[in-house]
Structure 1
Amino acid sequence: MRNDTLPVSGPGKGSTMKNWRYIGMHAVAAATFIFLLQRYGLNNTLESSLLWALTFGGCAAGLAYAQSKR
């Protein structure tokens, strides 16, 4: 049985890496979705699509971070 968390003291501190991985995956998924929607679904420019992807990825990371702290 493999344990991916490091042994640390305090409640809830052992799954910190798992939370950051979750936050990162959430941000990448949201950014990818909005980029593909903007670029190919709505035929926007590359610059506009990247800006929207960055914005939505940042918002998704913030929401995932807030949810992981509950």
Structure 2
Amino acid sequence: MTRNATLPVSGPGRVSAMKNWRYIGMHAVAAAAFIFLLQHYGLNNTLESSLLWALTFGGCAAGLAYAQSNR
């Protein structure tokens, strides 16, 4: 009796790792876009201030999404 062993095409976790990075990126972009639109158009802040808030919130959202994806 012989056993036929099949090898996986890609290593374990490669596909899920790509999905995690896509999830993290989309989360960061969505948060940054939301806060930019709120700051710039909703609260009539300057462009520089709105971009700074968008960058900050996008970074925080990416950090939270990264923490959630590694749970």
TM-score (norm 1): 0.85
* Aligned equivalent of 2:44: 43
Q: Which residue of 2 aligns with 1:29?
A: 30
Q: How far apart in 1 are the matches of 2:19 and 2:69?
A: 10
AA partner of residue 66 (structure 1): A
Distance 1:41 1:7 in 2: 47
1: CA distance between counterparts of 2:63 and 2:41? 26
Aligned residues: 62
Q: Which amino acid aligns with 2:63?
A: G
Which residue in 2 is equivalent to 1:58? 59
Looking at structure 1, the residues matched to 31 and 10 of structure 2 have their Cα atoms a distance apart, in angstroms, of 32
Identity of aligned pairs, percent? Answer: 84
Structure number with larger C-alpha Rg: 2
Secondary structure (helix, strand or coil) at the match of 1:8 reads coil
- Say yes or no: does 1:18 pair with 2:19: yes
Q: CA RMSD in A?
A: 1.1
> Residue 11 of structure 2 is aligned with which of 5, 8, 12?
8
TM norm structure 2: 0.83
1:3: which partner in 2? none
Aligned residue type for 2:62: A
